[in-house]
């Protein structure tokens, strides 16, 4: 398309020059009192001027003000068609939730304000340099949300709306970091599956399957077109987005049965309206975030993560939320303890065994249904107060007898032909169907600082009769994900190999996700016989014998950076005891030097390099990849030879 410079410089439309330089204002005067004019700051007074300029009803001045924050992205026409696309479906319809909540607040006599910080899509940036910004974005967004909260000093409370992998944890971090405010989280919900189509998990392996001759070009084109079947919501599987929604509700930050609602539906919009009512009720009862986010609530979030079979990325996000809430960050020992105690009760994509989409998990009862089973087993603290303004025990009593519960279970059975008890199971039923606990943290001479694997999602056919996964195979070493993917596509990776991908931790790539690899291994016929070991992290939908978060990372001197092509790697993961090891055998690692070719990705942005060193100084990935300002200042002052830092207050936690 050719562009005419004259058309860029001038539209040749004389009508555009007709506009006023002044405008007649016909408004009643502001209902100011002399005491306000005498004692308010100029900013408070000018805020009222701005409100009048934006059209606030004069009768509303002086009403309580509430802030709605969201990750909304894109620009939708009134009929839902795109004027400008968003980055992903997860934030495409979020503005509808904002609208519903704002109207409810307005109808209650309050003044709603709205602000936005949009978020990227990990699915869109898989295998691209965009992934170098993914995890670092979370901290940036949390800072922006907290700044927006503080920059409206007249707000009485905050309602946060978010859906997906980084925007939702960022919103939770921001609300947690506002301990003296009433606040509530509205999850953005989930998208729907296409009738007879591939889900958003499987379709992301279509390039590898095409390269290996498993699918045709025509099949791939149709599968990609249909995979995101509805316009809004997070992906249809229990990845990081859905796991974060579950964690928000389990933490008490969202209303009962808020997580995993189908985006765009009446039940989804109703949740936003009820959340706005709840925010006003929290304010009236003087219940603040500090009253909701307690050590017991954090423990419940860990418990629900295990019971659902949640994403390994929550090992980073939940400690970050705890940090900003002023709570002790859960350690690897805490995660291991909880996962040994708590059985997985949910059969959802991608974990299986059948793999129901998240909307059907919602219909089967979602978080409160799982909580009923956990309460009966004595595995849940039901004394905690949630944003509903009542103890969790009362909410579960309501849920068990509710029309909402019975109606949705009936619809799931009558329309979809699915028994809700096959989706969300009792501990005995789950055990009989072969469900195992969620995550394990292998250690060994290649991961002296630890690593993580979603052990429940290893293909059962490669598990020995005693419940242990055992593998010994030659290392296939890569420093770039693109090189590993090319090897997979071209047939250079074989059954029995162990892919070792290094230099992809925080210092190397911003700790990118390498879902391209894990997805290919899941859906290629031989993939279950290949293991992956990396200092990167995984998408929440990843499955298989994939061990990530290897610590220390290669560029921090980790022994993974000493592995050479062909070294024999031995992996053992006990899915019953939740113990594991990852070692190189027949090699004296102490005597071997790190590889000479270790390097950060040359395209790693300086912004992400800064994030990497700041989060490492603050406790690293096991500490939630946060910015602990007191610790950073202390380290800088030590380098200057004088003590630094300051006393910690609520909202800043000890390591």
pLDDT at position 459, please?
94
Quickly list DSSP for 267-334: HHHHHHHHHHHHHHHHHHHT--HHHHS-HHHHHHHHHHHHHHT--TTHHHHHHHHHHHTTPPPPPHHH
Burial grade of 462 (CB within 10 A; 0-12, 13-18, 19 or more): middle
Q: Give the whole-angstrom CA distance, residue 552 versus residue 534.
A: 11
Burial grade of 28 (CB within 10 A; 0-12, 13-18, 19 or more): exposed
Instruction: Give the number of other CB atoms < 10 A from CB of residue 354.
Output: 12
The low-confidence residues of the chain, meaning pLDDT below 70, are: 642-655
> DSSP label at 554?
G
pTM: 0.96
pLDDT at position 643, please?
60
Instruction: Give yes or no for a contact between 518 and 457, defined as CB atoms under 8 angstroms apart.
Output: no
Quickly list DSSP for 77-145: -TTS-EEE--S-HHHHSHHHHHHHHHHHHHHTT-EEEEEE-----HHHHTTSGGGGGHHHHHHHHHHHH
Quote the tokens at residue 522: 């899941």
Domains of the chain, start order: 56-192+230-427 (3.40.50.2300), 450-585 (3.50.30.80), 606-640 (no CATH)
Cis before 585? omega within 30? no
Residue labelled with tokens 């990396």: 534
pLDDT tens figures, 574-595: 999 999 999 999 999 999 999 9
Tell me the C-alpha to C-alpha distance, in Å, between residue 378 and each of 339, 342, 381.
Answer: 15, 11, 8
Q: Give the whole-angstrom CA distance, residue 276 versus residue 268.
A: 13
Q: Which residues are catalytic?
A: 539
- In DSSP terms, which residues pair with 380 in a beta bridge? none
pLDDT at position 70, please?
98
CA end-to-end span of the chain, whole Å?
Answer: 57
Measured N-to-C along each axis, helices 606-617 and 134-150 cross at an angle, to the nearest 10 degrees, of 80
Alpha carbon dihedral 163, 167, 170, 172, in 10-degree steps, equals: -10
pLDDT at position 640, please?
86
Quickly list DSSP for 414-470: HTT---HHHHB--HHHHHHTT---S-B--BBTTBTTEEEB-GGGS-GGGS-TTSEEE
Instruction: Give yes or no for a contact between 477 and 565, defined as CB atoms under 8 angstroms apart.
Output: yes
Q: Give the whole-angstrom CA distance, residue 514 versus residue 546.
A: 10
Q: Assign residue 344 a region: left if phi > 0, alpha if psi is -120 to 50, beta otherwise? A: beta
Closest CA to 157 of 186, 177, 182, 176: 182
Q: Give the whole-angstrom CA distance, residue 6 versus residue 464.
A: 73
Alpha carbon dihedral 616, 621, 626, 632, in 10-degree steps, equals: -20
């Amino acid at each position: 398309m050719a562009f005419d410079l004259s058309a860029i410089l001038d539209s040749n439309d004389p009508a555009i020059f007709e506009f006023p330089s002044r405008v007649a204002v016909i408004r009643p005067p502001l209902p100011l009192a002399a005491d306000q004019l005498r004692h308010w700051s100029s900013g408070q007074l000018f805020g009222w001027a701005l409100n009048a300029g934006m059209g606030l009803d004069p009768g509303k001045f002086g009403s309580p003000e509430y802030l709605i924050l969201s990750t909304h992205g894109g620009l939708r026409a009134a009929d839902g068609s795109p004027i400008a696309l968003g980055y992903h479906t997860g934030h495409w319809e979020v503005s509808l939730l904002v609208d519903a909540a704002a109207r409810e607040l307005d109808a209650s006599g309050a003044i709603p304000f709205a602000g936005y910080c949009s978020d990227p899509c990990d699915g869109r940036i898989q295998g691209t340099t965009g992934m170098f910004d993914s995890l670092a974005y979370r901290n940036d967004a949390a800072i922006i949300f907290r700044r927006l909260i503080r920059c409206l000093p007249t707000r009485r409370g905050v309602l946060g709306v978010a859906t997906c992998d980084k925007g939702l944890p960022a919103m939770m971090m921001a609300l947690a970091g506002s301990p003296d405010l009433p606040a509530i989280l509205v999850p953005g919900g989930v998208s729907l599956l296409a009738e007879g189509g591939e889900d958003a998990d499987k379709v992301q392996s279509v390039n590898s399957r095409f390269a290996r001759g498993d699918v045709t070009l025509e099949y791939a084109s149709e599968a990609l077109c249909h995979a995101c079947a509805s316009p809004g919501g997070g992906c249809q599987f229990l990845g990081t987005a859905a796991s974060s929604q579950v964690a928000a509700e389990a933490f008490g930050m969202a209303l009962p049965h808020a997580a995993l609602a189908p985006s765009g539906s009446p039940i989804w919009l109703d949740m936003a309206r009820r959340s706005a009512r709840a925010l006003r009720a929290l304010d009236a009862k003087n219940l603040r975030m500090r009253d909701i986010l307690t050590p017991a609530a954090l423990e419940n979030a860990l418990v629900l993560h295990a019971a659902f079979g949640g994403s390994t990325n929550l090992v980073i996000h939940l400690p970050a939320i705890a940090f900003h809430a002023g709570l002790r960050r859960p350690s690897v020992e805490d995660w291991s303890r909880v996962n040994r105690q708590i059985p997985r009760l949910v059969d959802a994509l991608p974990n299986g065994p059948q793999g129901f989409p998240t909307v059907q998990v919602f219909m089967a009862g979602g978080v409160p249904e799982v909580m009923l089973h956990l309460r009966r087993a004595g595995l849940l603290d039901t004394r905690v107060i949630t944003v509903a303004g009542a103890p969790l025990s009362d909410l579960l009593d309501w849920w068990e007898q509710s029309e909402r519960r019975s109606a949705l279970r009936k619809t799931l059975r009558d329309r979809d032909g699915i028994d809700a008890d096959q989706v969300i199971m009792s501990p005995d039923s789950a055990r009989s169907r072969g469900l195992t606990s969620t995550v394990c943290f292998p250690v060994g001479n290649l991961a002296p600082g630890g690593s993580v694997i979603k052990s429940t999602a290893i293909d059962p056919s490669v598990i020995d009769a005693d419940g242990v996964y055992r593998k010994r195979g030659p290392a296939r070493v890569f420093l770039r994900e693109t090189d590993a993917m090319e090897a997979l596509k071209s047939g250079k990776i074989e059954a029995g190999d162990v892919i070792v991908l290094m230099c992809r931790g925080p210092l190397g790539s911003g700790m990118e996700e390498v879902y391209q690899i894990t997805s290919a291994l899941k859906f290629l016929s031989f993939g279950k016989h290949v293991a992956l070991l990396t200092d990167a992290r995984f998408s929440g939908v990843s499955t298989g014998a994939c061990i990530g978060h290897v610590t220390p990372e290669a560029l921090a001197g980790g022994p993974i950076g000493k592995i050479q092509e062909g070294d024999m790697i031995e992996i053992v993961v006990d899915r019953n005891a939740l113990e594991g090891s990852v070692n190189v055998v027949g090699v004296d690692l102490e005597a071997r030097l790190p590889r000479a070719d270790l390097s950060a990705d040359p395209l790693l942005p300086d912004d992400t390099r800064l994030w990497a060193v700041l989060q490492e100084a603050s406790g690293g990935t096991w500490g939630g990849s946060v910015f602990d300002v007191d610790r950073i200042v202390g380290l800088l002052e030590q380098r200057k030879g004088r003590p630094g830092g300051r006393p910690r207050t609520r909202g800043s936690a000890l390591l």
